[in-house]
Amino acid sequence: MSLDPAVTTQIDKGGIARLDLVRFDIPGLPPKGYHMGGRDFTFNGLVYKPNRFLSMGSMTSAVGTAVTTRTITFSNIPVNDPDDAMAIIEQYNYQNSPVIIAHLCGVPNTNEVLGILASSVYEIDQVRYNKGAISGSERTLTMEIDLQPPGRSARGSTGVKRSMAEQKFDNDANDTGLEYVATNASIPEEWGQRSG
């Protein structure tokens, strides 16, 4: 992906403002967005809510079959806003829901957004809650959402069976590499070249 020329020009000037956005597309809910700013922010027609989104977390990766994961953090759970997706996420089938994390480039000390620096697509793996201290008569929670990249590697770790259509989407349209995955534990399959 190439950067917008306005973004490249601003980077060459030596100073940018970065705005981090996170968008959730949870089945049964309209798209919801959050950012770390102090007021509502509209981007591409979606209103991103402020202050709840605390941390982008860091990516953790490993060699072998492990997938790269990322953990993002939200605060102040629960809240009274019935439209807040983070407060009601447990009411929905959120696992494997798409999450888009975008980093916008802007001009420092202004509200001018020049374009997108980078964006990444993930799927929700799990949601965890950490208890906070009691304030008055109420205890709040910090919520951590573990994300994984979409596709076969993440789905393999969640136990979701892949269809041939999904396999072909991730690879070549003629790929049949996983054709026998559902049966190879119980039915011997011959792979590779045949001898004699």
Q: Do 93 and 66 reside in the same domain of the chain?
A: yes
* pTM of the entire predicted model: 0.68
Strands 46-49 and 32-35: parallel
Rounded to an integer, the average pLDDT of 53-74 is 69
Q: Do 87 and 173 reside in the same domain of the chain?
A: no
Would you tell me how many other CB atoms lie within 10 Å of the CB of residue 80? 6
Whether residue 156 is contained in a domain is answered as no
Q: Do 168 and 77 reside in the same domain of the chain?
A: no
Average pLDDT, the chain: 75
Q: Do 91 and 12 reside in the same domain of the chain?
A: yes
pLDDT computed for residue 171 by the predictor? 60
**Which residues, at least 6 apart from 81, have a Cβ–Cβ distance to it below 8 Å?**
87
Write phi, then psi, for 156 (nearest 5 degrees): -60, -35
Write phi, then psi, for 38 (nearest 5 degrees): -100, -10
Question: Is 142 or 62 the better-scoring residue by pLDDT?
Answer: 142
3-class DSSP state of 156: helix
pLDDT computed for residue 26 by the predictor? 92
Q: Do 106 and 182 reside in the same domain of the chain?
A: no
pLDDT digits (tens, 9 = 90+) for 3-46: 788 888 888 888 888 888 999 999 989 999 998 878 889 999 99
Say how far residue 165 (Cα) sits from the centre of its chain: 23
pLDDT computed for residue 109 by the predictor? 84
Q: Do 79 and 24 reside in the same domain of the chain?
A: yes
Q: Quote the domain boundaries for residue 190.
A: 161-196
* Statement: residue 154 has pLDDT above 60: no
Q: Do 106 and 188 reside in the same domain of the chain?
A: no
**Which residues, at least 6 apart from 83, have a Cβ–Cβ distance to it below 8 Å?**
none
Would you tell me how many other CB atoms lie within 10 Å of the CB of residue 176? 11
Q: Do 67 and 10 reside in the same domain of the chain?
A: yes
For residue 38, what is the enclosing H or E element?
A: none
